[in-house]
Structure 1
Amino acid sequence: MHSKVHQKPSSIMPDFKTEKRKTFDNEYVKVYLKNKTQFANVKTLLSELQSVRRVNITENSETDLTVYPSKIYSADEAIQEIEVSLEAFFSGSPIDPVIENKGLSSISEKAYFEIIDKISNFGQSLEKYKDLYDKFDEEGFRNFFLPYLNSISTRHTATGETFNKIGKTDILIQDENGLNVFIAECKLWKGEGEAEKAIDQLLSRYVTWRDEKIAIMFFNKTVKKFGDIIDKAIAAFKLHKNFKSYVGSRNSTSHSFIFANPDDPGKNINIELIMFNCI
């Protein structure tokens, strides 16, 4: 017996609508798309979400997506992750919006900062969903970003826990030839001492001579007065032995720095500090 949970749809957007349903005791989610050509792309995106167990394209009176939550997530929690992912997906074009091949790391300055801005916007959307991010540790935050990063270019792939140099970096974006274009680490905020360790970890373990554009993403889950934390993180970056210059802020929680490559001090590395308040 199939029954529909009668409730106001959790979200009505210009591009999609979600709806919670129930079969016997099992809840699932229906996703309706305005653009009927995007079902395959959206199925791929949603299949990679950590709250999702399986996604089917369903042919009824109209085509839709049927999404089954994973065992440790409720349908309501799955809807939250689905919505924030689809809001980000439809807010920008998923057809190679940025990544221009230029420079040693195969990515232009414009491309790098557009990726940074997309990460910032996606993370700020996550800040609205406390029930969702309360479940996340560093690995959970990383896994939350990966499907979205994979959706912003058809010629590039984002992977997690990927070997580079002598360690596994949290997020690695590579082009179709397997060349690195972007590296990022996801860290829970535990004080400015941890900021220094995060920089050391990236520069000494994961960054090769050819890697020029990287980011460190901090998630605050315990400390109030978020503005003070941002100031402390910026100060910690400036005190690092490889710091060269502070470029400026892209927004209040995204700040750009130039560091020296520890293996070749004459070679610069762009490091973006991106912070999210998940408390």
Structure 2
Amino acid sequence: MAQNNVVASIGLPMKRRADDALTYAAPEVRRKISLAPPPLPKQTFKPEPALDAAEFDHILNIIGKVAVVFERNPSTFSKLGEEALRDNILVHLNGHYESATGETFNAAGKTDILIRSGEKNVFIGECKFWHGQKGYMETIDQLLSYLTWRDTKAAVIIFNRNKNFSEVLSTIREITEKHQNFKRALPPSEETSFRYIFRQNGDESRELHLAVLAFDIPTP
């Protein structure tokens, strides 16, 4: 690397449970993958570990499949609050990862979902019911306040209840790019899932991957 003070990210293989739960796991990502980082030239700094794209996708896939169960069973889940819905997601994340926790202190507050590898945070998620544009933008601000400079993968998980879901999705698409930390949009993986590159608070050069997942849980 040209400069010693350049901070790099290397792929961080995640340790999944040996008894990796089959429920909600996509077959193509159920296997345990361990990737060695490429050889690095001699340097005076240690690159920061970062969650690789495949593991990030796997985590989002688990969350998505659990939330689809919420959508398909409104009589069971419609009366649950944010914490109870979050706890259901955590149950299944813990079936795949040994270090998924909720209500964990990090930076300026307590995160809803935190996954660690050793002492490193590799994923942080925030769950919220949809309360309009203002509430959504405040949720992004809240999540960003929980991230340290070393955190580069995060997600906002939106639960919609008895609002026009198509309008909610349209609003997410329109206003996310107006956030002051927004840098660029990435191709969406699904109709209700969005991907963005944001900058860290206070550092224009430090980028993070932000996913926004929206789910409709109407009252029956």
* Counterpart-to-counterpart distance in 2, 1:149 and 1:229: 26
Structure 1 position 123, deviation (Å): 1.2
Aligned sequence identity (%): 32
Q: What is the aligned counterpart of 1:134 among 69, 78, 84?
A: 78
The one of 74, 98, 105 aligned to 1:163: 105
Measure how far apart 1:118 and its partner are: 2.3
Contact 1:161–1:168 (8 Å) recurs in 2: yes
Amino acid at match of 1:178: E
Q: RMSD over aligned Cα, in angstroms?
A: 2.4
Q: Which residue of 1 aligns with 2:44?
A: none
What TM-score results when the alignment is normalised by the length of structure 2? 0.79
Q: CA deviation at 1:265?
A: 1.1
> Once the two structures are superposed, what CA deviation does each residue of 1:149-201 show, in whole Å capped at 9, x if it has no partner?
11123xx41000000012100000011x1211100000000111111101111
**What's the TM-score once normalised by structure 1's chain length?**
0.63
Matched, 1:263 2:202: yes
Do the aligned partners of residues 222 and 100 (structure 1) sit closer, same or farther apart at CA in structure 2, a change above 3 Å counting? Answer: farther
Query: Is contact 2:105–2:111 with CA below 8 Å preserved after alignment?
Result: yes
Matched with 1:217 is 157
Decide which structure has greater strand share: 1
Distance 2:36 2:210 in 1: 19
2:167 to 228, 243, 250: 228
Q: Distance in 2 between matches of 1:93 and 1:170?
A: 27
Q: Which amino acid aligns with 2:24?
A: A
Q: Which consecutive unaligned segments of at least 5 residues does structure 1 have?
A: 1-39, 46-85
1:274 and 2:213 aligned: yes
| Structure 2 partner of 1:247 | 186
Contact 1:96 1:152 in 2 (8 A): no
Q: Give the residue type in structure 2 aligned to 1:142.
A: R
Please give the alpha-carbon distance, in whole angstroms, between the structure 1 residues aligned to 2:48 and 2:83: 29
Return the alpha-carbon distance in structure 1 between the equivalents of residues 49 and 76 of structure 2.
34
Q: Cα gap change, 1:202/1:100 in structure 2, threshold over 3 Å: closer, same or farther?
A: farther
Distance 1:100 1:136 in 2: 39
Whether contact under 8 Å (1:93, 1:152) holds in the other structure is: no
Instruction: State the Cα distance separating 1:94 from its structure 2 match.
Output: 9.1
What secondary structure is seen at the aligned counterpart in 2 of 1:245? strand
Query: C-alpha distance in 2, partners of 1:174/1:100?
Result: 17
Counterparts of 1:1-279 in structure 2, within 5 Å, are 87-88=23-24, 91-92=26-27, 97=32, 104-153=48-97, 156-175=98-117, 177-204=118-145, 206-224=146-164, 226-279=165-218
The one of the two structures with greater contact order (alpha-carbon pairs below 8 A, sep at least 6) is 2
- Corresponding pairs, count: 192
Check 1:199–1:137 CA distance in 2 against 1; reply closer, same or farther (3 A cut): same
The structure number with the bigger radius of gyration is 1
The alpha-carbon distance between structure 1 residues 94 and 259, as it changes in their structure 2 partners (threshold 3 A), is: closer
Q: Deviations over 1:233-267 (max 9, x none)?
A: 12221110110001121000111001011121111
Q: CA deviation at 1:131?
A: 1.7
1:99–1:111 contact (8 Å) kept in structure 2 = no
Shift of 1:125: 2.4
Indicate if the aligned counterparts of 2:101 and 2:114 stay in contact, CA closer than 8 A: yes
* Equivalent position SS for 1:106: strand
